[in-house]
Chain A
Amino acid sequence: MKLSVWTYEGPPHVGAIRVATGMEKVHLVLHAPQGDTYADLLFTMIERRNHRPPVTYTTFQARDLGSDTASLFKSACHDAYNRFKPDLLLVGASCTAELIQDDPGGLAEALDLPIPVVALELPSYQRKENFGADETFFQIVKKLTTPQPRTENISCNLIGPTALGFRHRDDVEELEKVIQNLGIEVNVVAPMGSEPSDIVNLGAAHFNVLMYPETGESACRYLEKSLEQPFTKTVPIGVGALSDFIAEIETITGLTNLQNKVASRLPWYSASVDSTYLTGKRVFIFGDGSHVISAARIAKDEIGFEVVGLGCFNREMARPVRAFGKTLGCEALITEDYLEVEGAISELAPELILGTQMERHIGKRLGIPCAVISAPVHVQDFPARYSPQMGPEGANVIFDTWVHPLVMGLEEHLLTMFREDFEFSDANGPSHHAAHQPSTVQKENRSEETIPKENSSNVIWMTDAEKELRKIPFFVRGKAKRNTERYAVDHGVIEISIDTLYEAKAHYAR
Chain B
Amino acid sequence: MPKDAPQLGCADSPILKERGQHEVFCGLTSIVWLHRKMQDAFFLVVGSRTCAHLLQSAAGVMIFAEPRFATAILEETDLAGMADAHEELDRNVSQLLSRRPDIKRLFLVGSCPSEVIKIDLSTVAEKLTEKYSPNVNVINFSGSGIETTFTQGEDACLEAVIRSLPSSEKTQLAVLGALPDIVQDQMMRLLEQLGLENVFVLPQVKFDDDVSIGANTHFICVQPFLGASYEEMVRRGAQPICANFPFGADGTTRWLWAIAERFDVSKAKFDKVVAAPKLRAEQAIAAVASDLRGKSVFFFPDSQLEIPLARFLAAECGMELTEVGSPFIHKSLVYADLADLPATTQISEGQDVDKQLDRVFDYNPDLTVCGLGLANPLESKGLSTKWAIELVFSPIHFYEQAADLASLFARPLKRADLLKVSA
CB contacts (< 8 Å) of B52 on chain A: these are 4, 6-7
B73 within 8 A of A: yes
Contacts of B282 in A (CB 8 A): none
Q: Which of A40, A58, A124, A376 is within 8 Å of B373, CB to CB?
A: A40
Interface membership of chain A positions 1-38, coded 1 if the CB is closer than 8 angstroms to chain B and 0 otherwise = 11111110111011000000000000000000111111
Residues of chain B contacted by A94 (CB below 8 angstroms): 50
Check A44–B70 contact: CB distance below 8 A.
no
- The answer, yes or no, to whether A358 is at the interface (CB within 8 Å) is yes
Contacts of B146 in A (CB 8 A): 33-34, 60-62, 65, 96
User: With the chains together, A37 CA to B20 CA distance in Å?
Assistant: 13
Q: Are A33 and B377 in contact (CB under 8 A)?
A: no
Interface centre among A13, A38, A124, A128 (most CB of B within 10 A): A38
Please report the C-alpha to C-alpha distance between residue A1 and residue B379 in the assembled complex, in whole angstroms.
41
Number of interface residues of A (CB under 8 A): 57
Please provide the chain B residues from 12 to 44 with a CB less than 8 Å away from any CB of chain A in the complex.
20-29
User: Given A35-B112, A44-B373: A2 and B54 within 8 A (CB)?
Assistant: no
In the bound complex, do residue A41 and residue B70 qualify as a contact, i.e. CB atoms below 8 Å apart? Answer: no
- The answer to the question of B57 belonging to the interface, with a C-beta cut-off of 8 Å to chain A, is yes
**Which of the 9-residue segments A49-57, A201-209, A486-494 touches chain B?**
A49-57
Contact (Cβ within 8 A) A7 B53: yes
Q: Which one of B75-83, B202-210, B221-229 contacts A? A: B75-83
A357: chain B residues at CB < 8 Å are 61-62
What does the 1/0 interface line of A218-261 toward B look like (CB < 8 Å)? 00000000000000000000000000000000000000000000
Query: Across the interface, do A38 and B25 meet the contact criterion of CB distance under 8 Å?
Result: yes
Q: Is the CB of A48 within 8 A of B145?
A: no
A1-B72, A44-B372, A357-B62 known; A62+B147 contact, CB < 8 A: yes
B49 CB–A CB distance under 8 Å: yes
Report whether B375 and A44 are in contact in the complex, using a CB–CB cutoff of 8 Å.
yes
**Distance (Å) between the CB of B398 and the closest chain A CB?**
29
Cβ–Cβ < 8 Å partners of A378 in chain B: 61-62
The answer to whether residues A52 and B374 also contact, given A1-B72, A5-B70 and a CB cut-off of 8 A, is yes
Cα A95 to Cα B46 with chains together (Å): 13
A59 adjacent to chain B (CB < 8 Å):
yes
Stretch from B113-121, B188-196, B252-260 at the A interface = B113-121
A6 to chain B: which residues have CB within 8 Å?
A: 52, 56, 62
A41 touching B57, Cβ below 8 Å: yes
Query: In this complex, what residue of A is CB-closest to B148?
Result: A35
Q: Encode contact with A along B143-156: 1 for CB under 8 Å, 0 otherwise.
A: 01111010000000
Report if A413 contacts B (CB, 8 A): no
Once A36-B145, A44-B376 are accepted as A-B contacts, the answer to whether A14 and B53 lie under 8 Å apart by CB is: yes
Contacting residues of chain A (357-384) with chain B, CB-CB under 8 angstroms: 357-358, 361, 364, 376, 378-379
Contact residues of A with B, CB < 8 Å? 1-7, 9-11, 13-14, 33-38, 40-42, 44-46, 48-52, 56-62, 65, 76, 79, 83, 94-96, 99-100, 123-126, 128, 357-358, 361, 364, 376, 378-379
7 interchain pairs, CB-CB under 8 A: A1-B89, A38-B29, A44-B375, A62-B146, A96-B113, A125-B76, A126-B76
A-B CB proximity, top 10 nearest: A35-B26, A35-B145, A40-B373, A50-B380, A33-B145, A96-B112, A95-B48, A41-B372, A10-B53, A34-B22
Taking A34-B22, A35-B144, A38-B26 as known contacts, 12 extra A-B pairs with beta carbons closer than 8 A to each other, sorted by chain A number, are: A1-B74, A1-B88, A2-B75, A3-B73, A6-B56, A33-B144, A33-B146, A45-B372, A49-B377, A96-B48, A100-B116, A357-B61
